Structure 1
Amino acid sequence: MAIFIIVPMFLVIFFAFTDKSGSFSLENIMQVGQYSNVFLRSIWLGAIATFVCLLIGYPLAYIIAHCKARRQNVMIMLVMLPMWMNFLLRTYAWMTLLEDNGLINNFLAAIGLGRLPLINTPGAVVLGMVYNYVPYMILPIYSVLTKIDNSVIEAAQDLGADGKRVFLKVVFPISMPGVISGITMVFVPAVSTFIISKMLGGGANLLIGDLIDMQFLGSAYNPNLGSAISLVLMVLILICMGIMNQFDDGEKATGGIMI
């Protein structure tokens, strides 16, 4: 932990509060404010991607959790299968599909619907985020749903609850720890990504990860400003995680639920 967490954190903080000569300075932190639109765009697109992942991931996790054990293993393997391929190659694949002369637009042109501007759009960035991060939403929710005792559901049904009420009052509250974990595991990498926005969003959809990448590896080399931006992003993510943790009540996973 000291090597891989504390030392890098110390270096980020040190560079964020110093200038190029190594003297203490708040100028880097003050300059972060001029990139507020990039922060807002990153949080907005990351939140949309997280919401879409939840809409897709929860029903799929619910279906998998209620399959037979042998089928569950097969379906989980299919969910994880794309993750066995390199992240960069998966994103390149979507570029091939979405570009102006890609497979999707060629198909639309062939059936007479015309070509659509799919690549280099915010929608393409969100699509890339969802595709790459939806397994991180499915797996924690699935792991919680599989642990729900059937006797709890049967007890709710014996008390007169229909299917909808059982789900809203019993299943969903018990699965909240998995939902919170999934939201965290998707939102954090989505809001700080840079390769997806660079490849699928083009220069018009600059995200905070791209901005940090430019400060360290681009022509505008400025590690002090890059560290300040990273530090502010880290604080924002911690605040978001703290807010989400307020909705996670561990007692619901083991205690009784009022129907």
Structure 2
Amino acid sequence: MSMSQLATEATTVSIGTSNASDTSALVRRRRLPASWLTPVLTLPAAVLITVFFAIPIVQVIILSFTDPQAGLSNYAWLFSTPLIGQAAVGTFLISLSVTIVCLLMAYPYAYLMTIVSARTRSVMTMLIMVPLWSSILVRTLAWVVLLQDSGPINGMLTAIGLGPLQLIRTPLGVGIGMSQVLLPFMVMPLYSALSRIDTRLVTAAKSLGAHPVLAFFRVYLPLSRPGIFSGCLTVFILALGFYIIPSLLGSPQDTMLSAMIQLQVSGFLAWGRGSALGVVLLAATLVALIVVARLGKNTRTSKGGAK
């Protein structure tokens, strides 16, 4: 190889190395600092939440203080109207009752899902998820047919000597319909928590002489508290805002806050009063979140102290 060829190849290698170093330097200059990475990645979600959630909530709060005139007149009306208080108490009682019923029904079901075979678990998951694929309105209309005075359920109760009972247009009928709709939202968090529990702990407690019932309440149940808190919070918050089921299965005497909001906004065009009701319902939801979060924190703290 001649000296000229060697010089040419050396020049080519030198140019390639220079270009590579220039490219890597350019990439390093264009790379964002690590401290900017999180804000940039979360920016689309922050914009979405701000536009579709934060701004409407702020508008509702402002409207509750300014319509039809600036001041606290809407909140004074809200807290001085006995009907609103009755609707609020009824809403919370029904929501709490539905939460308890869903917990009592979902806990055994979720526990059974943790001990069966994979195929049976898939079938059980499908059974609990299929109702979510149909419209709430359609399911509610089906309950209207089932719960009416001359419906199939009252027919069976009459045949065995327990009926007929007043099921529709009562809080009981509302609770039945809401429990059926909200049950999946209790089952899935419970199953997620129960599937992570090591059942050998219960076996160890039994081997040390603990009764099975005592082993359940002292070992298994405390370990499932995260799923209980999550499921109860989800069901309770969703139940607070239900409108269709209470409207179709309930009675005017058992009106919930969601129906009162709809009546004020659509019926009376009282946007300020409806907004005030919405703000109070939102505040009650936030209080429920804080209480459950505090209970969960205390539970984790007590577990850490026990260790």
Give the TM-score normalised by the residue count of structure 1: 0.90
Which residue is equivalent to 2:58? 10
For structure 2, which runs of at least 5 residues remain unmatched after alignment? 1-48
Which residue is equivalent to 1:82? 131
Q: 122-131 vs 99-108, which deviates more?
A: 99-108
Aligned residue among 17, 21, 41 for 2:90: 41
Percent of aligned positions with the same letter in both sequences?
35
For structure 1, which runs of at least 5 residues remain unmatched after alignment? none
Which residue is equivalent to 2:70? 24
Q: Per-residue CA shift, 1:68-104, capped at 9, x if unaligned?
A: 2221111011011111110110110000001123222
Distance, in Å, in 1 between the alignment partners of 2:248 and 2:226 is 33
Deviation at 1:255, TM superposition (A): 6.1
Distance 1:113 1:6, change over 3 A: closer
Determine if contact 2:92/2:240 at 8 Å carries over to the other structure. Answer: yes
Determine if contact 2:67/2:271 at 8 Å carries over to the other structure. Answer: no
Distance, in Å, in 2 between the alignment partners of 1:110 and 1:150 is 44
Distance, in Å, in 1 between the alignment partners of 2:280 and 2:111 is 36
Q: Per-residue CA shift, 1:130-174, capped at 9, x if unaligned?
A: 111111111101111001123433443444433222211221111
Which residue is equivalent to 1:197? 246
Determine if contact 1:12/1:231 at 8 Å carries over to the other structure. Answer: yes
Which residue is equivalent to 1:123? 172
Which residue is equivalent to 1:188? 237
Deviation at 1:202, TM superposition (A): 2.4
Q: Counting helix residues as a fraction of each chain, which structure ranks higher?
A: 2
Distance 1:225 1:166, change over 3 A: same
Which residue is equivalent to 1:227? 275
The 5 A counterparts of 1:11-160 are 11-20=59-68, 23-33=69-79, 34=81, 35-109=84-158, 115-160=164-209
Deviation at 1:45, TM superposition (A): 1.1
Distance, in Å, in 2 between the alignment partners of 1:257 and 1:144 is 21
Deviation at 1:25, TM superposition (A): 1.5
Return the letter of the residue paired with 2:60: V
Return the letter of the residue paired with 1:142: Y
Distance, in Å, in 2 between the alignment partners of 1:240 and 1:7 is 23
Which residue is equivalent to 2:219? 170
Which residue is equivalent to 2:296? 248
* SS of residue in 1 equivalent to 2:66: coil
Distance, in Å, in 2 between the alignment partners of 1:114 and 1:159 is 49
Determine if contact 1:45/1:126 at 8 Å carries over to the other structure. Answer: yes
* SS of residue in 2 equivalent to 1:17: helix
Bigger radius of gyration: 2
Count of paired positions:
255
Deviation at 1:254, TM superposition (A): 8.6
* SS of residue in 2 equivalent to 1:101: coil
Aligned residue among 207, 212, 216 for 2:256: 207
Return the letter of the residue paired with 1:94: W
- Alpha-carbon RMSD: 2.3
Distance, in Å, in 2 between the alignment partners of 1:112 and 1:162 is 39
Distance, in Å, in 1 between the alignment partners of 2:160 and 2:89 is 39
Distance 1:150 1:11, change over 3 A: same
Determine if contact 2:87/2:255 at 8 Å carries over to the other structure. Answer: yes
Distance, in Å, in 2 between the alignment partners of 1:254 and 1:146 is 19
